[in-house]
Structure 1
Amino acid sequence: MRRYMNQARSERAPGFYAWCDEVDRFDAFAAALSALAYPGGLCNVRLSTRGVSEEMWRPEIPVDEVIAVTRPAFKAGSEVHVGLGSPWRWLGRYGLTLECYGEDYDRRWPSGPLGVGTYEWKGLYPYCLEMAIGSGVRSVEAEAAMISMHMEQDVEGILLGLCAPDAHVRVTTGACAAVFRWPAPVEACATYHADAATVARDLALSWMHLHDGDIVGRAARLPLSELVARVDAAPRGARVGVASHVERVGEHETLDLHASRSRSERPTRDDAVRRVPRALLPGDVEITREQVLQALLTPPDLLLEALEASALTDDAWRAVEPRARELIHEIIDEAETREGEPSYEVTVATGRHVRFIERHSPYHVRRLPNGGLLLATHPFRTLWPLWADALFLLGITS
């Protein structure tokens, strides 16, 4: 089973990334911790600070105590990691790690000031499930859709718990992806914006990462006007390649790592991964400077409407969705009530399951009550097909 998952997509389980200003950073961390931790659960916390020899380590303490002991110790050069139990079904006792980095630490090792890690894929995507004997004829497609729906719901819940845990706006943007660093937003599986009208930032940040080599976790602090200026500063006719699937995103990430060690490509800025545009790989889709600028100049309402119109489910998904919802009720929601009843183990991580998810998992465009916006799909996919369809509907691409 595991080999299907590793072939299928990145060997790294999904990671969650968020950016907020330094003045709000610890409050954002504390709010996310309160939202993501299992009520009444215990946490393991580790805090270290550059230039300070002693490291803080507190095992199995409640959330309130985590916040109380780390707030006075957290400095610009600090990093704090909290292992926490969560209400997500398959994540286990310490299935999530919440991370927060001070400004000096983040500047030296830039990856975004806030993050959530999951230890392994099965924390969000179980390899096997128990099915009651007599539950009906199996359907790989319905099983895949069931897992996709459940996992996408978890991904959205964790990302919103990190970025928008309460009514206060601290985090301005965030993302989820199954790679080691915050990727180009159009190559992520989910992005969050505190202001729905700024969704075009995803395109601008992607251009800066793909063309100029900027580290997304650092560039995310820039206002939209500055992002537009950076795209406009690129040579006329410049173009970049967008990865067409998750596995390719991982290959590009590996190449960027090599570029950072190459004399000819090594970045001259500490907020970049390379000094040249990213190389095109087979299957990458090209987008031009002019197309990105046209999208950035499109009225936000039109852009949002195009994204919403592009987030339609296909026929294959609609055909199995009713049965998938029944399976969620039978296998997941009623699992505890069936304890002791005859059952058998079902493998839900085969190549057929994975391929169905890759090809048919839907896109969600959610306008949030706080005025924010969430774009999301399953981590086996990227947001690029959604963006590509929206740009086509607007007449920007052909």
Structure 2
Amino acid sequence: MRELGPEFFAWCDEPERLDALGATLSSLIAPGALIRAQTDEDFEAGSVDEALAIARARFGGQTSARVSFRMMLRGSRRALIDIWCHSEERERQVPHGPLTLNPWGKQDFLSSDFDLAWGRGPRSIQVEAVVASQLILDDLEDLLVRFCAPDASGRIPTGACTHGVHWHAPVDMCATYNAKAEEIGRDLALSWVHLHDKDSVSRIAGMSLQALRARVEAAPRGALVTMKGKSKHSRSLSRETVLKALAAPPSALLDALGASAAPDDAWRAAAPRATAIVDLTRQIAETGEGPPTWPVCTSTHGHIHFVKKHPPFHVRRLASGGVVLATHPYCSLWPLWANALSALGLMS
């Protein structure tokens, strides 16, 4: 049985969902790839326009649209993926997410097996874990941005990625996308409303930041939601903390997240050699010249333990004005948020 790769989610108004699907399909599809389009029947399409025409003719009501195709990853690699586009009626009955994307298997996207150019020096589990994280995060961030922002339309205000199968609280995901960096507080407010009011994230992700703030304000004073934190201050999130964070200047929140994303000592110690290995491996792949590469498996207990104990965090500002928060798929963004809120003195 194949092991599923990470799941990606994006929110979009229903009238624009098929346009968003078409833009994403155009951005991701590998040259010459065929498209399998599925609605209430299966079809094979030879172009993006043909696949969209099939979807438009049948989409709506209880009928969702699904496209399967080979996409281009960095370094000329390809992966087989599915994108689902769900109607509002379908979402009301079974909330999946208006748009979802998932690679067909870990071997295509979240592989733990690499051929690496070690150069000189002994092997190290820590260095191998950092190498794997760098490669995986590069792919994950690239795919999330190409899924949520394939063009400049801004149709998709927010999206996320998880190693699981459901769109949970954004702070519990491994990556989030926001089209407007100044609305980064949406991740926090959306998480709190989901955890406190038990609303499905895919049903409320399109709410304005003001509407989400009003939902938080409507909760009783002192209300808390339980979080999966390791330290005392990170085991819960209060209504008051969320409101104070939403009242803070977005630039201060982004700066605090950026500062909190700094790697710890163990990660910094392994990073220089890991970067050198990644650069040399990519050089060999591009030129065909260099020292031999060696197969490395990074799914052992030691590798995974190191990543979970020292999770890497990225805060990436986009040229479009958006922002991506990301960590390894085996981790969550909550430690990043908890540290940032604590640094600002907002954890109550």
Give TM-score, length-normalised by structure 2.
0.91
Name 1:200's counterpart in structure 2: 185
Find out whether 1:213 has 2:198 as its counterpart.
Answer: yes
Q: Cα 1:343–1:194, aligned 2, differ >3 Å: closer, same or farther?
A: closer
| Native 8 Å contact 2:233 2:347 kept in 1 | no
Give per-residue Cα distances to partners, 1:90-132, cap 9 Å, x unaligned. Answer: 9986521111111211222112100111223333332323346
Corresponding residue SS for 1:112: coil
* Unaligned ranges ≥5, structure 1: 3-10, 49-54, 246-281
Distance 2:69 2:120 in 1: 35
Find out whether 1:116 has 2:101 as its counterpart.
Answer: yes
Name 1:345's counterpart in structure 2: 295
Count of residue pairs brought into register by the alignment: 347
Name 1:153's counterpart in structure 2: 138
Corresponding residue SS for 2:309: helix
Letter matched to residue 220 of structure 1? A
| Native 8 Å contact 1:189 1:382 kept in 2 | yes
Distance 2:247 2:288 in 1: 55
Distance 1:118 1:306 in 2: 33
* Unaligned ranges ≥5, structure 2: none
Find out whether 1:23 has 2:15 as its counterpart.
Answer: yes
| Native 8 Å contact 1:95 1:118 kept in 2 | yes
| Native 8 Å contact 2:72 2:79 kept in 1 | no
Name 1:179's counterpart in structure 2: 164
Find out whether 1:241 has 2:226 as its counterpart.
Answer: yes
Corresponding residue SS for 2:146: helix
Name 1:310's counterpart in structure 2: 260
What is the deviation of 1:63? 3.0
Distance 2:26 2:258 in 1: 32
Give per-residue Cα distances to partners, 1:315-351, cap 9 Å, x unaligned. Answer: 2222222211222234455247559x96643222111
Corresponding residue SS for 2:154: coil
Matches within 5 A, 1:233-312: 233-244=218-229, 285-312=235-262
Name 1:359's counterpart in structure 2: 309
Q: Cα 1:369–1:283, aligned 2, differ >3 Å: closer, same or farther?
A: closer
Name 1:373's counterpart in structure 2: 323
Q: Cα 1:326–1:343, aligned 2, differ >3 Å: closer, same or farther?
A: closer
What is the deviation of 1:284? 7.4
| Native 8 Å contact 1:42 1:63 kept in 2 | no
Name 2:333's counterpart in structure 1: 383
| Native 8 Å contact 1:45 1:58 kept in 2 | yes
Name 2:115's counterpart in structure 1: 130
* Root mean square deviation, CA, Å: 2.8
Which range moves more in the overlay, 76-85 or 208-217?
A: 76-85
What is the deviation of 1:215? 0.2
Letter matched to residue 161 of structure 2? C
Name 1:229's counterpart in structure 2: 214
Find out whether 1:164 has 2:149 as its counterpart.
Answer: yes
Letter matched to residue 44 of structure 1? R
Distance 2:343 2:33 in 1: 47
Aligned with residue 100 of structure 1, among 53, 76, 85: 85
Give TM-score, length-normalised by structure 1.
0.80
Name 1:392's counterpart in structure 2: 342
Corresponding residue SS for 2:143: helix
Letter matched to residue 285 of structure 1? R
Aligned with residue 86 of structure 1, among 62, 71, 81: 71
What is the deviation of 1:76? 4.3
Name 1:139's counterpart in structure 2: 124
Corresponding residue SS for 2:273: helix
Name 2:26's counterpart in structure 1: 34
| Native 8 Å contact 1:88 1:154 kept in 2 | yes
| Native 8 Å contact 1:12 1:180 kept in 2 | no
| Native 8 Å contact 1:201 1:224 kept in 2 | yes
